[in-house]
Amino acid sequence: MNAARPAGASGGPATTGAGGKAQEAGAGAADTLSEAEQRQVAELAERDREVRAHEMAHVAAGAGLVTRGASYTYQTGPDGQRYAIGGEVGIDTSPGRSPEESLSKAERIRAAALAPAEPSGQDRQVAAQASRMASDARMEIARREFEQGGAGTEAAATRDGPGYRGMRAAQAYSAALAPGQGPTLSATA
């Protein structure tokens, strides 16, 4: 996809004119737009570029996690062209088959969610959900190591020991994070 032109446009990059088909048709179509309409087209073309770049950042960073490629919400401008004004990318936010796999996956989900220059509120929710998944995975790994004797010290085994306090702190942190619902990353505000 070319982020520099509105959806459906087959001409050069969108500029302050109508872009796409209107540019191909010559100056006639641009001449029929008022100054206000030309400004609106320019704003829509800029938003279109931003939305497409935002969603492509998710796709690029979410390799292997993308369940549905970028889909867009469009607005038709005064020039008759459709411009992307919002979008989303489906990302697999399910946990892995093991705590280690969940931890790795959570880090990749968080990176994909925060990949755009300006993450949306939905993006931040998905990142928070991934942080919680990572925290849960770390706790499970620590619990398993503790049960297998990985902690190895008397202090870690007691309620007053640093190992126990660390595990309780991780549990409290995990519980404090809001569970982000929503397996999509969105460019809409």
Q: Quick one: which of 39, 51, 38, 40 has its CA closest to 7?
A: 51
Rounded to an integer, the average pLDDT of 55-61 is 97
Q: What are the pLDDT digits (tens) for 25-36?
A: 444 555 699 999
Long-range Cβ contacts of 29-35 (<8 Å, 24+ apart): 29/79, 30/79, 33/78, 33/79
| Minimum mean pLDDT range among 17-21, 94-98, 152-156 | 17-21
**Residue 115 three-state SS:** coil
Q: Calculate what percentage of the chain has a pLDDT beyond 70.
A: 62
* Per-residue CA distances from 62 to 17, 26, 78, 106, 182 (Å): 34, 40, 35, 11, 15
For the chain, what is the mean pLDDT?
Answer: 78
